Amino acid sequence: MSVVSVNVGKVEQLTVRGSQTMTGINKRPARGTVWISYGAVGSDVICDLEHHGGLDQAVYAYSRDDYDWWSEQLGREIKPGTFGENLTIDGLATELFVGDRLLIGDVVLEATAPRIPCNTLAAQMQDKTFGMAFRRAERPGSYFRVMNEGEVVIGDRVELIDNPERKVSIIDLFRFAYSSNPDASDLQRYLEAPVAERMRAKIEKKLSQLLDA
């Protein structure tokens, strides 16, 4: 695997469901090396701090192979950064497991959660139905926490270190986000993995509701 692009965004205005919204979703390839810290990727801007960013979702990575798939499906080239990812990686598997790690030079990233599509992504794609298409495709990309800081640059080699337990896949959590009737045993299994705090809170809430019922 290798880094195809390191992408950062700036504050821009986007029309989302008829309202003007400030967003950093439209990320563009950065020049030269970019410092990845525990909470940020270079100069990247995150406007919606309620749903994005934070220590458990500091880096969003997407596969170049999945972009190629989308380009074929949509009949047009989808360029790195379009989905708002920080790292576009050639050869990155669609289905990682929570706890899997990526090594990029000194940088160590740990997979924590899937990206759940929102209205901002649909607006970015200029297609109000894109959220549903993204859901059905089950190619969400993965959020990562930063276990070790460092610099990355286009062309860097990426090594995957599998989580030996591999209890919960990123796709498991992606499907949970849309499930109306999850199984309590599945939820308990999800909580055994190093899941991102936002996703963990949703799982815990749903499990509590099921147990109370």
Secondary structure (3-state) at 169: strand
* Distance (Å, whole) CA 171 – CA 177: 10
Assessment of whether the complete model's pTM goes beyond 0.85: yes
Q: Rounded distance, CA 187 to CA 178, Å?
A: 13
Q: According to the model, what pLDDT value does residue 165 have?
A: 84
Instruction: State pLDDT tens for residues 161-190.
Output: 988 888 899 999 999 999 989 999 999 999
Please state which of the four CATH numbers 2.160.20.10, 2.40.33.20, 3.40.50.150, 3.40.390.10 is assigned to the domain occupying 2-165: 2.40.33.20
Q: What is the pLDDT of residue 52?
A: 80
CA 142 – CA 96 distance, rounded (Å): 8
Say if residues 60 and 143 touch (Cβ distance below 8 Å).
yes
The pLDDT, as a whole number, for residue 196 is 97
Give the pLDDT of residue 92: 96
In the chain, domain spans: 2-165
Which tens digit of pLDDT belongs to each residue from 95-131? 899 999 999 999 999 999 999 998 899 889 999 999 9
Stretch among 2-11, 86-95, 118-127 having the lowest mean pLDDT? 118-127
Which of these, 108, 81, 97, lies nearest to 24 by C-alpha position? 81
Q: What is the pLDDT of residue 212?
A: 86
Q: pLDDT-derived band of residue 68, with 50, 70 and 90 as boundaries?
A: very high
Q: What is the pLDDT of residue 145?
A: 98
Contacts of 27 (CB under 8 A, 6+ apart): 7, 8, 9, 44, 81, 84, 85, 86
> Average pLDDT, whole number, for the chain?
94
Give yes or no for a contact between 152 and 87, defined as CB atoms under 8 angstroms apart. Answer: yes
Q: Mapping DSSP to helix (H, G, I), strand (E, B) and coil, where does residue 176 land? A: helix
Dihedral sign for Cα 105, 111, 113, 115, please: positive
pLDDT band at 24 (very low <50, low <70, confident <90, very high): confident
> Residue written as tokens 């993995």?
193
- From 17-26, 37-46, 69-78, 191-200, the region with the lowest mean pLDDT: 17-26
Burial class from Cβ neighbours inside 10 Å (0-12, 13-18, 19+) for residue 155 reads exposed
What is the spatial distance between Cα 145 and Cα 99, in angstroms, rounded to a whole number?
10
Q: Which residue has the tokens 């969003």?
A: 60
